[in-house]
Amino acid sequence: MNTPLAERIRPKTLKDYLSQQHLVGSSGALVPQMKSGMISSMIFWGPPGTGKTTLATIIAEESKRPFYTLSAIDSGVAAVREVIEKAKKGEGLFTTKNPILFIDEIHRFSKSQQDSLLGAVEKGWITLIGASTENPSFEVIPALLSRCQVYVLKAFSKTDLEDLLKRAIKKDELLQKKKIKLKETEAIIRLSGGDARKLLNILELIVLSEKEENVTITNEMVLQKVQKNTVLYDKTGEQHYDIISAFIKSIRGSDPNAAVYWLARMIEGGEDVKFIARRLLISASEDIGLANPTALVLANATFQAVNTIGNPEARIILSECTVYLATSPKSNASYKAIKDAQQLVKQTGDLSVPLSIRNAPTKLMKELGYGENYQYAHDFEGNFVPHEFLPEEIKGTTLYSPGNNARENSLKSYLKQLWKDKYNF
């Protein structure tokens, strides 16, 4: 039997469908559509192996609609148009109107491929169900997204995965030929990364590799059978963005343990070490800033060192910098200053540079008042003389407000001393 275990025990009815109660439970979001038979176009978004294809198949079966599938990996515009034409004519595969067209990995469709679906979806020639592991907001064109409901499928819980293992052992004819005892599940669940398909593949691999009729599944046995612990991390997908977000937020939150953990997740997943180093550079400025200016120096040195050293030793350098940034005092005052300044520029437009601080390289410019009344700071005691450097319309505006940390408290005192009443921090 060449059919994989995941396919052999794929649920055929909603009653057998595991998890996603927020969609298919008694008060689930999809229940009214299923009961009425009025199925709208939709996109299922969720991690791999959470039942997106299975749910689409069940919806088609229970609503008694023709069902056609395309994979975004190997289907082009021509294949989409062929399906649409059959749907319009009610010929060939389709004997009734409004079949369901299921497109797996719809996020891989190009703009032109997605465009080819618009008319058919809008006119009701097909009901589109797309499946995506990526955020549809970023990967699906707005015109198509606006015509679809987006439903989020959640990762399976440990209980769900254990139930799935027990169901497979109990119901699959091939596995029933063995006497299987599920003694421990931690390793097999961890290796699956929450992907039900991968979980069942591992189970089948383990059971069928045993010559004895009696098979006792333990953590040690699983780890022996499955040589490589593959880390759930997609360098080009949403997981990439989620984990780098967790990494940066752990640094910002001054948690070196969590920061190093997420760093390890990226390294084990094969992330580009230069990408990680670039994000450390940004964090050093955005989250630490003038609370500890050395952070930026160290982050820059880390970037240079990682470029020079490469893997695998780069991980040591990245870890050192990560811990340093996570344990450093924090300030986003500089980040807020430029953010507020840019917003002010957008609101006020191109305000004129005050004449007093314009350069006056020619006689005409001097006659027009360029540079007039400008006082050279170094000619005064303490290398400072009060002057208004902002345009007249926004004079007195405070954009940089020092953070509450030792170094910036010192800067705050210094600025107050210089500017007297101008800075009211």
Residue 239: band (very low, low, confident or very high) from pLDDT cuts 50, 70, 90: low
Max mean pLDDT among 1-10, 125-134, 190-199, 282-291 falls in 282-291
139 and 69 together in one domain? yes
CA dist 118 and 112 (Å) reads 10
Residue 34 lies in a domain: yes
32 and 129 together in one domain? yes
* Mean pLDDT for all residues in the chain: 88
Is 259's pLDDT higher than 60? yes
Q: Which of 21-25, 206-210, 317-321, 338-342 has the lowest mean pLDDT?
A: 206-210
* 256 vs 420, more confident: 256
In the block, residue with structure tokens 């120096």: 297
Are the C-beta atoms of residues 50 and 154 closer than 8 Å to each other?
Answer: yes
Max mean pLDDT among 108-112, 228-232, 418-422 falls in 108-112
Q: Give the whole-number percent of the chain exceeding pLDDT 90.
A: 44
Using only C-alpha atoms, the chain has a radius of gyration, in whole angstroms, of 31
Are the C-beta atoms of residues 320 and 264 closer than 8 Å to each other?
Answer: no
3-state secondary structure of 150: strand
The encoded tokens of residue 80 equal: 């989409």
148 and 40 together in one domain? yes
The H-or-E segment that residue 44 falls in is: strand 42-45
196 and 285 together in one domain? no
pLDDT digits (tens, 9 = 90+) for 97-141: 588 999 998 988 888 889 889 988 988 889 999 999 888 888 899
71 and 128 together in one domain? yes
Strands 42-45 and 149-152: parallel
Examine the fold and report which residue of 176, 198, 225 is the final residue of a domain before the chain moves on. 225
Is 158's pLDDT higher than 80? yes
* Angstrom distances, CA of residue 247 to CA of 255, 289, 402: 10, 18, 26
171 and 91 together in one domain? no
Is 93's pLDDT higher than 60? no
298 and 255 together in one domain? yes
pLDDT at res. 233: 58
pLDDT at res. 92: 43
Examine the fold and report which residue of 225, 253, 273 is the final residue of a domain before the chain moves on. 225
Are the C-beta atoms of residues 176 and 204 closer than 8 Å to each other?
Answer: no
44 and 114 together in one domain? yes
The encoded tokens of residue 375 equal: 């006082």
Residues paired with 68 in a beta bridge? 101
pLDDT digits (tens, 9 = 90+) for 356-406: 999 888 888 888 888 998 999 999 998 999 888 899 899 888 899 899 999
Residue 159: band (very low, low, confident or very high) from pLDDT cuts 50, 70, 90: very high
Q: Give the whole-number percent of the chain exceeding pLDDT 70.
A: 94
CA dist 155 and 50 (Å) reads 6
Residue 331 lies in a domain: no
pLDDT digits (tens, 9 = 90+) for 45-77: 988 889 999 999 999 998 888 888 888 777 777
Examine the fold and report which residue of 172, 190, 225 is the final residue of a domain before the chain moves on. 225
Are the C-beta atoms of residues 19 and 125 closer than 8 Å to each other?
Answer: no
CA dist 397 and 345 (Å) reads 12
146 and 162 together in one domain? no
Residue 97 lies in a domain: yes
Is 95's pLDDT higher than 60? no
Is 231's pLDDT higher than 70? no
142 and 58 together in one domain? yes
Is 252's pLDDT higher than 70? yes
Angle at 340 between CA 339 and CA 344, to 5 degrees: 120
Segments forming the whole domain that contains residue 66: 20-152
Residue 229: band (very low, low, confident or very high) from pLDDT cuts 50, 70, 90: very low
Count of beta carbons in the 10 Å neighbourhood of residue 419: 12
The encoded tokens of residue 397 equal: 């505006």
Instruction: Supply the CATH number for residue 292's domain.
Output: 1.20.272.10
Residue 94: band (very low, low, confident or very high) from pLDDT cuts 50, 70, 90: very low
Residue 1 lies in a domain: no
> What is the arithmetic mean of pLDDT over 36-53?
91
Please measure the distance between the N-terminal and C-terminal CA atoms of the chain and give it in whole angstroms. 75
Domain count along the chain? 4
103 and 57 together in one domain? yes
Burial 382-400 (b: 16+ CB within 10 A, else e): eeeeeeeeeeeeeeeeebb
User: What pTM was estimated for this model as a whole?
Assistant: 0.60
pLDDT at res. 36: 86
Listed residue (162, 184, 219, 201) closest to 48, CA to CA: 201
Residue 2 lies in a domain: no
CA dist 12 and 54 (Å) reads 8
